[in-house]
Amino acid sequence: MTSTAPRALLLDFGGVLVSTAARADWAPVLARRVVEIAGTAGQELDPRRAEASLRAGRAALSLWKDAASRRRAPRELDPREIVEDFLLADLPDPIRAAAGLDAQRLLRAKTLVVAEHHVRPGVPELLEHARSRGIALGVVSNAHSGLAHREVLRDTGLDAHIGVQVYSDEIGIRKPHPGMIHRALEALGIAPEESWYVGDTLDRDVVAGRRAGAGRVIITRDRRTDRTPFAVDAAPDLVLETPEGLLAELRRLPDRPRAAAPAAAPIPPRDPAPEARDRPRRPALLLDHGGVITTSTPDPSRDAEVGAALADLAARCGHALDAEVAAAAVAAGWGRLRARKRAAPEAEIAPEELWGDLIGRGLPGPLRPALRLEARELSALLHRAKGTMRPRAGALQLIRFAAAHRVPLGIVSNTISGRSVRETLDGYGIGGLIGPAAYSDEVGVRKPGRGIFAAALAGLDVDPADVLHVGDKALNDGAGARGAGIGTVCLLRGGKDPEPVLARALADGIADHVLDSPADVIGLLADRLSLVPATL
């Protein structure tokens, strides 16, 4: 048995930091959200059918998770796989495709509605004690929505003590893959033998800790501890009833010196998105976000604001970083990102690459793994900090007209954070009116690439020839929509492209209309509606 305290304490989320109490109403509550998604895509759906699919999908998903924990290096399901192939597998393809594009928000909602979360006894005191002794803290958890787990930790105030959070849905592998623990330790700059890993299951947590070479593997008992799906040839070093016992264990041990950091474990690539299929004919609307729905005034304090967040993250991970140095790194990284976009317009840059390589290039090496782990959170922050956003005049009028006339409406947008765009639209009060939303950071393809348009079209269940697309750039929106087979392309003045570029797009047939305002699209849409049955 070890005679010194760890340099890093890695904790599972459920069963260690929090306990959960099941909610009986989760399925009907989540079914209503699925019905809303179907409606925005122009599809009727019986709530009882949605509820039945959700229940069956959750049961099948539980079986998959048990089987996956038998594997040596299990991968995590992509959010779209969970939604389309498990939770909504019994529903029509267009509804599955539309919900798949909104998978991250749907899975966040599922995580928060399936159970209530309660901080376990002794956890706040444990984290405060560890932080006061300089013991680095991390969360390592299998999750369908790391976003929801982060939200719970923020709401409970526990996140203020935690350096890194590693969730399976964010890095593509799941416990008992040792790479999850290695990723956290790499970001904290601590060797496995200097760490303790604390979980509540034998097949996932104890096996993961042993494979990762953690100094000690500890169980805090919870409802899943004795429900091992199969025999496990691994045992914990210590079994405690609650995290209070872990605090007592730490208090009796002296500190230990630091050793070398571990090498990173490889992360398997994610599966590509499925191909789109042909759709029946009916009118629909696709909108760009920036320049069409929203206009933005640049914020000169962007780099300083994000730099301060990086300095805070570094401090929580035990790394020194001056806020001004961090701000300069943000500015330089943004310049590299823009250069990459110019060189390869259709190639999306993964958030992990943006923060670990482009922005993190000039920062201390040990910090860069932490930036990769927090990449999606940081991208959302950077998107919000870029400028002051407001609805473009006429945009909300157009969206409400489409909703009132039951015209399916989707979004195709290049962005560093689809999550932040969704929050913006919710803030305008129109988030519930938007159907399939294809954001480049989530789809992995940027406009003018055909793949991002195909993703939105799959959710709309329309013939592309009957779609009206509205954008503000001749290449991304004009040529991109044409390449995807979209029938009507409208470009708006007042966006990124100047008048001569828009006029050339019109003359070359890349655009059908060049308009002054999103409200001008209403007339075109009204003409289109007069050609279809009044019952649409």
Out of 153-157, 342-346, 376-380, 460-464, which region has the weakest mean confidence (pLDDT)? Answer: 460-464
Q: What is the pLDDT of residues 464-498, one digit of tens each?
A: 999 999 999 999 999 999 999 999 999 999 988 99
Mean pLDDT of the chain: 93
pLDDT band at 264 (very low <50, low <70, confident <90, very high): low
| Short-list 112, 113, 60, 111, CA closest to 87 | 60
Burial of 159 (0-12, 13-18, 19+ CB in 10 A): middle
Provide mean pLDDT across the span 365-379. Answer: 95
CA 396 to chain centre: 26
Q: Can you tell me the mean pLDDT for 32-60?
A: 96
For the cut 70, the answer to whether the pLDDT of residue 158 exceeds it is yes
d(CA 215, CA 206) in angstroms, rounded, equals 12
Phi, psi (degrees; rounded to nearest 5) at 278: -65, 150
Q: How far apart (Å, rounded) are the C-alpha atoms in residues 455 and 457?
A: 6
pLDDT of residue 270: 46
Residues 199-221 have pLDDT tens digits of 999 999 999 999 999 999 999 99
Confidence class of residue 259 from pLDDT cuts 50, 70 and 90?
Answer: low
Does residue 311 register a pLDDT over 70? yes
How are beta strands 136-141 and 164-167 bridged, if at all?
A: parallel
CB 140 within 8 A of CB 50: no
Helix 93-101 vs helix 450-460: angle between axes, to the nearest 10 degrees?
A: 130
Phi, psi of 57 (to 5 degrees): -65, -40
